[in-house]
Amino acid sequence: MIAAAFLLLAAQATASPSPAKPAPAPSPVEKLKTIDSAMAIETFKATCWAGFRDPEIFHAAIAMAPVPLALQPRGPGQPSESYKADEALLTYLADDRLPANIPARQCTLRVRLSGAADQLALAARIQQALALGPGRTRTSPASSQTEWNVAGAGARTTRLFASTRAAPGGTTELRLAALLLAQK
């Protein structure tokens, strides 16, 4: 029994080392050109915020966006639409067949800001631009997020997130997301 244990330990010691984990692939946002926060907020306001509840209004807004967004081909079984510009990535989902616990309307804009972003100052600019009430901000060394809940027509709440995290090259990744929550 002891000999078997020694043989097992010897076999493990001579076994080849486990392969090193590959470096994570860079985020698609890291490949974007930087944009200023005012242009990012204006693009989100003109597309996601103005029209994400109604697909027709959303599609009309995309054509007029401050940043020229091009529709990307859909992957098999992908229910969302993706749009890309040199400075932004936008995803939009309008699917009323989703389970009740998944928002039927979702719109997310991801951009890269030059330099470090002050979450509270950025949240204040978003709050003013979108005429929102006070939000709730959480910060950590890795990322920060401000959340707003906005009551809407038909007892449906829109939840808005503004999230930032440090990105390579001293830049900041900004994600603005609007979700239309299910009725309670």
Domains within the chain, CATH numbers bracketed: 34-71+81-180 (3.30.310)
- The SS3 of residue 117 is coil
In this prediction, residue 98 carries a pLDDT of 62
Give the pLDDT of residue 10: 45
Tell me the three state secondary structure of residue 101. Answer: coil
pLDDT below 70 — which residues of the chain?
1-26, 96-103, 154-155, 182-184
Alpha-carbon distances, residue 159 vs 51, 125, 179 (angstroms) = 14, 17, 5
What tens digit of pLDDT does each residue of 92-123 get? 988 766 666 666 788 999 999 988 888 999 99
In whole angstroms, what is the distance from residue 164 CA to residue 174 CA?
5
Residue 117: the pLDDT is 85
User: Torsion angle, CA of 135/132/112/76, rounded to 10 degrees?
Assistant: 100
Question: What pLDDT sits at residue 21?
Answer: 60
Q: From CA 3, how far away is CA 5, in angstroms rounded?
A: 5
* Nearest CA-CA partner of 79 in 89, 88, 92, 69: 92
Helix residue ranges, H only, 15-159: 37-44, 50-51, 55-63, 119-129
SS3 state of residue 75: coil
Report pTM: 0.81
Side-chain half-sphere exposure of 158, counting CA atoms within 13 A: 21
